[in-house]
Amino acid sequence: MRGQAAVMDALIFMLLASGAATLLFFASSLYASSTNDQLTSIYNDEYANNAVIALHYAQDTRSTWFWNEIRGIADNQDSVETYLNGYAKEVWTNITSSSPAGERTFLCFEGSIVPYCCGGSTGNVDCHLSETPSGYERMTTYTSSVRISDITTAVLKLYY
Amino acid sequence: MKKAFLGPIGDDLPSIIALMLALGIFFSAITYTMEVYNQKIAETETLKGSLEIGRAVMDKGLLTSIDNPVADHVAFSYGLSHKEFLDNVPDGECVKSYRYNYLVAMQEPGGVNLHTLIICTEVKK
């Protein structure tokens, strides 16, 4: 009987050790994942902030400053769409090719105007009346904004 | 039938096997966890260092060169090596590295141009 009790004790100990090991495996798989996610978020925000700053130095093919041109036409989404597909095509290529979100990068306009967002591949940029592009409502957004006039704020949005 | 006496260890042999197995499982789990823990800390530090290098390179907004002594200093303090490329990464580069892209404005002889700055970082060997 004494031997059976010892075996039972050992089995219970093994059960406890297995439980502790499972907990350790579980904890190790979760460890630092939220920190790394936060660092990735920080990177996306920094990308957006730096891109908005870089766009202050951007010129279109006519050597007009990008934000200056946008400021004049921002209240008309069709003009912005034409501009991004035409003279500012290269600027848009630079944005989408450098962005970690690729073609899920949008340039949106808000403020006293009806909000709209422009995005898409080079030469095929579409602008839609909405603060959030359709189909992207549930995605995580990283944004950086710049006030380009008294009534308009341009927002660079990255969707994941 | 009465079982013969096998000695103090012999009698408890089945339980000792189970005990040793349990201890083996437990200590293996601890070793594995410590390995994962160290690996993840190193990964987090590399990510943090990479962001700091990016900040150092992008500090002035308008770049005149992609070589930046402050970025070198930051990389050194994190034990990282880093390489910067404009627009494209040559074949064979940046394969096992962390890669971060930024949109940058660069002062060049012809004027200011937009580029994709690619920063590759990895732990120094």
Chain B CA closest to residue A36: B44
The distance of A62 to chain B (nearest Cα, Å) reads: 13
CA B110 to centroid of chain Cα atoms: 39
Q: What is the DSSP letter of A151?
A: S
Among A94-98, A139-143, B12-16, B48-52, the range scoring the smallest mean pLDDT is B12-16
Query: How many domains does chain A contain in total?
Result: 1
Domain of residue A86 covers 32-159
Q: Which pLDDT score is estimated for B5?
A: 61
Mean pLDDT of B96-121: 90
Tens digit of each residue's pLDDT (9 = 90 or more) over A7-23: 888 889 889 999 999 99
pTM equals 0.83
In a domain? residue A51: yes
| Mutate which: A29, A53, A93, vs B, most B CBs within 10 A | A53
Q: Which residues contact A13 (CB under 8 A, 6 or more apart)?
A: B18, B19, B22
In a domain? residue A128: yes
CB within 8 Å: B51 and A42: yes
Mean pLDDT of A110-135: 89
Tokens of A10: 């050992």
In a domain? residue A148: yes
Tokens of A114: 């009806």
Phi, psi of A45 (to 5 degrees): -65, -40
Is the predicted pLDDT of residue A58 greater than 80, yes or no?
A: yes
Among the listed residues B54, B114, B86, the one whose alpha carbon sits nearest the alpha carbon of residue A65: B114
Q: Is the ipTM of this complex over 0.85?
A: no
Tokens of A14: 């093994």
Nearest-by-Cβ selection for A24 from B33, B100, B114 = B33
Q: Which residues pair with B113 in a beta bridge?
A: B106
Q: Which residues contact A147 (CB under 8 A, 6 or more apart)?
A: A111, A153, A154
In a domain? residue A16: no
The distance of B2 to chain A (nearest Cα, Å) reads: 12
